């Protein structure tokens, strides 16, 4: 078999693992998935590279030490506390590791399956592990690429007949965010303070954000950078992407409304962005590729690509108030609704000559769908607070309150298996007084 046919075999929906928890069709981390992350555990506090499968983590550093995992380079990249050096080995290396793991973990491979001592060295229960920020992020960019979201927001604050500004349909709109405040799932988020312009007062006041919101997004991680002055062609862009994460770009709507003219969001966005800990590779997502929405007008030549460049990823948001037993589902949508594709976003980002680096994070922008229950933000679903949502155990929400826990989840559903992202969780702490 050649490398491409080996890679294709990792996507076989009939392939099962001897790790039985991976064979549950509602379990995110099937043998077809094999996402990468950074973990430590109760027996070894050292951060290192792992791959999730079922309710286990494969310790890649331990696997390599046992001679069961080969890398194209002899570089010691699997004991690092971020994935950057591993990612920098290139796509052939990522794929080689994927193929080797898929074979080792397959039900009919006895190497690990029948060796209890060896398994104890290379497998760690997820319940015993702590997950960490998977990459060092040199730069973070957030886009604004959902037509439904942009239309909702434009209708809310402008004439609905002119909800989309003229440039929106011509290019992926984006802004440079703050990589220093990107945190991993489970990290508490403190409500920000800032300037608020109240409608009945001439000057702004300073205080805690009153309209704290989520933005349901995905993000993609750059796997191969480009040199300064050398754009990435749209047709080549996906080869520069290592994989995807869930992303919650927390937003202080009232701070943003006052500060964003004329240069856009600043403190309303910089206080925190939460990402999920496991990076799902584009190879794992390949069976779920679908056509992107029709784009009218046809994009300029540098933003055109042939084929299908959207992915059928179900996305869901739940909100659980402090001390509540049950969480309420407040949104369910799908990544396939995104108007601008990841390839177009990267092509546009670099067309000026802007360079990107391994580990750079690109947020999709809020992902909303065509129905009322598929809004990717409370701003939309409550129409700026005028239509509060009713929660499962009673009570309501116009925006997020202190103690609320927000959870993003996402998955692609195959026949008999799932390729999921895990969760992206954040609990809101009170503002500093």
- Reply yes or no on whether the pLDDT at 121 is more than 50: yes
* Whether residue 331 sits in one domain with residue 248: yes
Mean pLDDT on 235-244? 98
The residue-averaged pLDDT of 250-271 equals 95
Q: How many domains does the chain have?
A: 2
Supply 300's token pair: 């300029």
| Whether residue 163 sits in one domain with residue 127 | no
Give yes or no: residues 174 and 270 share one domain: yes
DSSP letter (8 states) at residue 160: G
User: Which pLDDT does position 75 carry in this prediction?
Assistant: 78
Kindly report the average pLDDT of the chain as a whole number: 97
pLDDT of residue 153: 96
Same domain? 193 vs 252: yes
Name the binding residues: 142, 144, 158, 215, 217, 249, 256, 260, 269, 273, 366
d(CA 90, CA 95): 9
175 & 75 share domain = no
Assess whether pLDDT exceeds 80 at residue 2.
Answer: no
Whole-number pLDDT of residue 82: 98
Q: Please give the helix or strand (H or E) that residue 268 lies within, else none.
A: helix 267-270
Q: Region 13-35: what's the mean pLDDT?
A: 98
pLDDT of res. 159: 85
Domain closes at, from 106, 132, 158: 132
pLDDT at 188 (0 to 100): 98
Same-domain status, 404 and 280: yes
Residues 128 and 146 in one domain: no
- Which amino acids are annotated as binding site for Mg(2+), given as ranges? 249, 269, 273
Contact 275, 361 (CB under 8 A): yes
Residue 176 shares a structural domain with residue 128: no
- pLDDT, tens digit, 9 for 90 and up, residues 271-321: 999 999 999 999 999 999 999 999 999 999 999 999 999 999 999 999 999
At residue 11, does pLDDT exceed 70?
A: yes
Give yes or no: residues 321 and 424 share one domain.
Answer: yes
Whether the per-residue pLDDT at 343 is higher than 60: the answer is yes
Number of neighbouring beta carbons within 10 Å of residue 153: 20
Q: What is the pLDDT of residue 1?
A: 47
76 is in which domain, residue-wise? 3-132
Reply yes or no on whether the pLDDT at 113 is more than 90: yes
Report pLDDT for 4: 78
Q: Tokens 């769908």: give the residue.
A: 369
Residue list, annotated binding site for Ca(2+): 142, 215, 217, 249
pLDDT confidence of residue 133: 98
Can you tell me the distance from the alpha carbon of 310 to that of 288, in angstroms, rounded to the nearest whole number?
Answer: 8
Q: What is the CATH number of the domain that holds 176?
A: 3.90.850.10
Which burial class, exposed, middle or buried, applies to 108 when counting CB atoms under 10 A from its CB (0-12, 13-18, 19+)? exposed
**Domain end position, chosen among 108, 132, 156:** 132
> Residue for token digits 């309420």?
328
Identify the band that residue 72 occupies on the pLDDT scale cut at 50, 70 and 90. Answer: confident
Q: Judge contact between 375 and 217, C-beta under 8 A.
A: no
Question: Which of 132, 158, 182 is the endpoint of a domain?
Answer: 132
Backbone angles phi, psi at 140, to 5 degrees: -135, 130
Cα 324 from chain centroid (whole Å): 26
pLDDT of 33 strictly over 90: yes
279 and 333 in a common domain: yes
DSSP 59: E
276 and 360 part of one domain: yes
Query: Catalytic one among 132, 149, 337, 348?
Result: 149
Instruction: Compute the distance between CA of residue 179 and CA of residue 33 in angstroms, rounded to an integer.
Output: 27
Give me 364's structure tokens. 């999709």
- The count of residues in the chain is 433
Percent of the chain topping pLDDT 70? 100
Residues 262 and 346 in one domain: yes
Catalytic annotation on 149?
Answer: yes
Q: What digits encode the pLDDT tens for the residues 414-429?
A: 999 999 999 999 999 9
Q: What is the mean pLDDT of residues 400-411?
A: 98
Q: 136-179: per-residue pLDDT in tens? A: 999 999 999 999 999 999 999 888 889 999 999 999 999 999 99
Alpha-carbon distance 342 to 145, whole Å? 9
What local confidence, expressed as pLDDT, does residue 432 receive? Answer: 98
Q: CATH no. for residue 125?
A: 2.30.30.230
Q: What integer pLDDT is reported at residue 258 of this predicted model?
A: 96
Average confidence (pLDDT) over 348-366:
98
């Amino acid at each position: 078999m050649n490398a491409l046919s080996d890679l294709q075999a990792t996507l076989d929906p009939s392939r099962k693992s001897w790790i039985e928890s991976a064979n549950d069709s509602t379990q995110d981390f099937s043998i077809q998935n094999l996402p990468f992350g950074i973990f430590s555990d109760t027996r070894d506090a050292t951060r290192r590279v792992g791959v999730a499968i079922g309710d286990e983590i494969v310790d890649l550093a331990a696997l390599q030490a046992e001679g069961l995992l080969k890398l194209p380079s002899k570089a010691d990249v699997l004991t690092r506390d971020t994935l950057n050096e591993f990612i920098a080995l290139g796509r052939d290396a990522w794929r080689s590791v994927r193929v080797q793991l898929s074979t080792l973990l397959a039900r009919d491979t006895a190497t690990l399956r029948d060796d209890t001592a060896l398994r104890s060295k290379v497998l760690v229960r997820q319940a015993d592990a702590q997950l960490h920020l998977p990459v060092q992020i040199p730069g973070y960019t957030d886009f604004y690429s959902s037509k439904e979201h942009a239309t909702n927001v434009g209708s809310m604050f402008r004439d609905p007949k002119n909800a989309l500004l003229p440039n929106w349909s011509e290019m992926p709109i984006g802004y440079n965010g703050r990589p220093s405040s990107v945190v991993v799932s489970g990290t508490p988020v403190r409500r920000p303070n800032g300037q608020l312009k109240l409608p009945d007062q001439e000057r702004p006041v300073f205080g805690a954000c009153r309209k704290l919101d989520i933005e349901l997004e995905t993000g993609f991680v750059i796997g191969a950078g480009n040199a300064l002055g050398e754009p990435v062609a749209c047709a080549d862009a996906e080869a520069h992407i290592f994989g995807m994460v869930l992303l919650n770009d927390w937003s202080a709507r009232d701070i943003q409304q006052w500060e964003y003219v004329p240069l856009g969001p600043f403190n309303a966005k910089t206080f925190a962005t939460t990402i999920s800990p496991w990076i799902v590779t584009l190879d794992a997502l390949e069976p779920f590729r679908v056509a992107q929405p029709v784009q009218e007008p046809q994009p300029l030549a540098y933003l055109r690509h042939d084929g299908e460049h959207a992915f059928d990823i179900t996305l869901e948001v739940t909100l659980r108030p402090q001390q509540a037993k049950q969480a309420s589902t407040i949104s369910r949508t799908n990544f396939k609704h995104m108007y601008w594709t990841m390839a177009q976003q990267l092509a546009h980002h670099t067309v000026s000559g802007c360079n990107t680096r391994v580990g750079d994070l690109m947020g999709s922008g809020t992902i909303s769908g065509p129905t009322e229950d598929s809004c990717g933000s409370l701003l939309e679903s409550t129409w700026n607070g005028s239509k509060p949502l009713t929660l499962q155990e009673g009570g309501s929400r116009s925006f997020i309150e202190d103690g609320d826990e927000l959870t993003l989840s996402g998955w692609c559903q195959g026949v008999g298996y799932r390729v999921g992202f895990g969760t992206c969780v954040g609990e809101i702490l009170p503002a500093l007084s």
